[in-house]
Amino acid sequence: MVQRIIGIMGAMPEETNGIVALLQNPVATTRGRRTYTSGTINGITVVVVFSRWGKVAAATTVTHLILEFNITELIFTGVAGAILDDLNIGDIVIGNQFIQHDMDARPLMAKYEIPLLGVTHFESPEDCINAGFVAANSAIAEKKLHTEIPEADLAQFAITAPKVIIGVIASGDHFFSDTETKTKLLSELPDVVCVEMEGAAVAQVCYEYAIQYTIIRTISDNAESTSDIDFAAFIATIASKYAALIIQKLIL
- Across 213-220, average pLDDT: 96
Read off the pLDDT of residues 143-161 as tens digits, 9 standing for 90 and up.
777 788 888 989 989 898 9
CA-based R_g, the chain, Å: 17
- Catalytic residue status for 15: yes
Has residue 238 got a pLDDT over 80? Answer: yes
pLDDT digits (tens, 9 = 90+) for 16-69: 999 999 999 999 999 999 999 999 999 999 999 999 999 999 999 999 999 999
CATH superfamily of 5-250: Nucleoside phosphorylase domain (3.40.50.1580)
Measured CA to CA, the distance from residue 198 to residue 12 in angstroms comes to 11
Measured CA to CA, the distance from residue 20 to residue 227 in angstroms comes to 28
Q: How confident is the model at residue 70, as a pLDDT?
A: 98
Residue type, 137: N
Per-domain residue ranges for the chain?
5-250
pLDDT (average), residues 176-200 = 93
Say which residues have a Cβ less than 8 Å from residue 193's Cβ, sequence separation at least 6.
82, 83, 84, 87, 93, 165, 167, 168, 169
Percentage of residues in the chain with pLDDT exceeding 90? Answer: 77
Q: Higher-confidence residue: 226 or 157?
A: 157
Give the pLDDT band of residue 228 (cuts 50, 70, 90): low
Overall pTM > 0.85: yes
What is the DSSP code string of 85-101? TT--TT-EEEEEEEEET
Q: Considering 14, 15, 91, 198, which one is annotated as catalytic? A: 15
14: pLDDT strictly greater than 70: yes
DSSP string covering the chain: -PPPEEEEEESSHHHHHHHHTT-EEEEEEEETTEEEEEEEETTEEEEEEE--SSHHHHHHHHHHHHHTS--SEEEEEEEEEE-STT--TT-EEEEEEEEETT---TTTS-TTPPTTT--S-EE--HHHHHHHHHHHHHHHHTTHHHHHS-HHHHHHTT-SS--EEEEEEEE-S----SHHHHHHHHHH-TTEEEEESSHHHHHHHHHHHT-EEEEEEEEEE-SSTTTTTTHHHHIIIIIHHHHHHHHHHH--
Distance CA 17, CA 156 (A): 23
pLDDT at residue number 229: 60
Is 151 catalytic? The answer is no
Average pLDDT over the chain, rounded to an integer: 93
pLDDT: which is higher, 11 or 110: 110
Q: pLDDT band for 236, please (50, 70, 90 cuts).
A: confident
pLDDT tens per residue across span 105-156: 999 999 999 999 999 999 999 999 999 999 999 988 877 777 888 889 899 8
Which one, of 108, 79, 107, lies nearest residue 95 by Cα?
Answer: 79
Selected catalytic residue, list 91, 196, 198, 221: 221
